[in-house]
Structure 1
Amino acid sequence: MVGDAIAAYLSDGRPRVPECRAVFMTSQPPARAMGVSAIREAVVRITRRAGLGRVSAHRLRHTLASEMLAGGADLPAIGQVLGHRMLETTAVYAKCDRETLRQLARPWPGAAV
């Protein structure tokens, strides 16, 4: 649902500024990339309104990387989406959860899970 909304925004709602690769743009002219503090404030406001409590943009990046990893994406692809230049930076975000590790360990002979 959220992914569909973002895809619709990117294809139909985002101001057309070819020289700017930012996902989120200001709504008032001149269109330009939203600043970090504006994005942070929007995330806090929207997640509170949704009843999610305190969720930061940083936490959403971690979640995105983890979900991409769980879905089979490799670290270079995840790094590209997150805008990282170094794989070491991406590796910090892309962490397996315990259930994923448990599922991987089960097929091993003698594994006690």
Structure 2
Amino acid sequence: MEQQMIQRYRQEIYRIGWRLQYRSKRTRRHECTFMDIRPAQRDEAEEMINRLSVEQLLDTLPAKGKVILQKIYLQEMTEAEVAAQLHMSQQGVNKWKQKMLQQLSQTANSQTF
């Protein structure tokens, strides 16, 4: 009887672990980071120019949007973690993120640095 209970608890712990891993992988796949997009090798000058370009683009955003993008992409936080920190809903963070990415895209396409 005790063996059955131990086996049952092991199975349940295994399921919980599997669910956590699956949820984490799904979240990370949905929210890629800048580091994943970066090419394999760059020289330091090109890296500095790119960093300045990103900073200039981010400066064109509203303060709240800038904070959200920095937390999600540079600090590699999930939308849920950002929402909890900023006392917002996760859907609100997602909408801000989408809106700011669209604005960044439009700004980057219309300006030459």
Q: TM-score, normalised by structure 1?
A: 0.31
Greater RCO (CA < 8 Å, at least 6 residues apart): 2
Q: Of Structure 1 and Structure 2, which has the larger fraction of its residues in helix?
A: 2
Higher gyration radius (CA): 2
Q: TM-score, normalised by structure 2?
A: 0.31
